[in-house]
Structure formats: structure tokens, C-alpha cells
Amino acid sequence: MDRINTIGRRKTAISRVYLSAGSGAISVNGKDYKQYFPTEVLQIILNQPFSTINGVGGYDVKVNVRGGGVAGQAEATRMAIARALVELNAEFRSPLKKEGFLTRDSRMVERKKPGRKKARRRFQFSKR
């Protein structure tokens, strides 16, 4: 099996994934994924595509991720891993799609408007 290259996005995070057959090593930006994503929730998010197809530990994953925060980066990486698995085997598509791992979450932060404190929050009203 060759190395499969896919990308995933979430908010402002962009994740590039290189998937190959191996022993289950996942490295993110040159670090082990447990070091890069210290909380258990983020580690679970990263492994969701593998647990969905019962393929935990069967693939080596090298990830380059930039932009956004840790949660957005984890979800972008999850999407990229799911896309790579579908490229590897088309039978994985339906279970991964059912879980929603192949759908790009297009929600972005709303921009700040002039005359407002934030996107929708107004400044405190003063009657006098």
C-alpha cells in the first residue's frame, strides 16, 4: 500500500494527513498525538474513524496541522483520516458517512460589525 494524502478542515484549522499501513503510530506535527492532544476527549475524536471501521492500530498516520485551536485541529484531523480511509477502501464510506466524519462542518466565527461590541452584542444602552 502506498501513502495516501488527504486534507480536512474545521473552522480555521487545516489538517494534512498521510496514511500508510503500519502499527498504529500517529504523529502530529512531529510529536506523538497523545503529547500534542493532551486531553482524552481530543484523543478519542482522533481515533473515531478507526474505531468505526474496527481498524485501530492497523495504520500509521503522519499529520501536519495548522491554524485554529486544539478542538478545531482535532476535528479537522478526524475528517482527513476518514477521507483517507475511504480512499483506501470504498466500503468504509457508508459507516463513516453515517457517523458524519466525511461532512465538512462549515460553521465559522461570525465577523465583528461596526457599532457593536462583538458580532451581535451591542454596547450597553444608557438612557441618559
> Which residue ranges make up each domain of the chain?
4-99
pLDDT at 107 over 70: yes
User: What pLDDT score was predicted for residue 67?
Assistant: 95
CATH code at 4-99: 3.30.230.10
Cβ atoms of 118 and 125 within 8 Å: the answer is: no
pLDDT at 1 over 70: no
Spell out where the chain has E strands.
4-10, 13-21, 26-28, 31-32, 59-66
pLDDT, one tens digit per residue, over 29-56 is 999 999 999 999 999 999 999 999 987 8
